Amino acid sequence: MDIFKIILLGITVTILSVILKQYKPEFAVQISIAAGVIIFFAISDLLKDTYLFLENLTQSIGIDILYINILFKIIGISYLCEFASAICNDAGESAMAIKINIAGKVTLLYLSLPILEKLLTAISEVTL
């Protein structure tokens, strides 16, 4: 998707939400959410292509597909958490944004446990 269109969209949405913030602040938040969703759809096909490329690459090299899946789950979760906490920050609710960030970090930690376990077992086999 053309990055210039996304930049222009972002600027117009910022101007619109500044205008609306004077009269109806609640609509300004809605506009930024809508813009975030549209920008994500603009880049989602790029993400799909990278996922397919990585999948083929790992299959050809022989690395376990599990890592790539976990990697993309982590990317997805961090993107969504960033999306939500940025919206909360825009609306002025920084406390909610921090809570979402903490929840995201805990989920990421939980997701990376299998990799940690494999790493430690590999190290212990080498040292023993």
Partner 1 sequence: MDVDLIFQIAAVGILVAVLNQLLVKSGRDEQAMMTTLAGLIVVLMMIVNQINNLFDTVKTTFGF
Binding site for partner 1 (CB under 8 A): 1, 5, 9, 12-13, 16, 19-20, 23-24, 26-28, 30-31, 33-35, 37-38, 40-42, 44, 47-48, 51, 69, 72-73, 75-77, 79-80
The CB-of-123 to partner 1 minimum distance in angstroms stands at 28
Which residue, 56 or 121, has its beta carbon nearer to partner 1?
Answer: 56
Look at residues 30, 70, 35, 34 and name the one whose alpha carbon lies nearest to residue 54. Answer: 70
32: number of Cβ within 10 Å? 19
User: Nearest distance from residue 53's CB to partner 1, in Å?
Assistant: 14
What DSSP letter does each residue of 20-70 carry, written as one string?
HHHH-HHHHHHHHHHHHHHHHHHHHHHHHHHHHHHHHHHHHHT--HHHHHH
HSE, CB side, 13 Å, CA atoms: give it for residue 98.
4
**Cβ-based nearer residue to partner 1, 92 or 121:** 92
Q: CB-wise, 30 or 121, nearer to partner 1?
A: 30
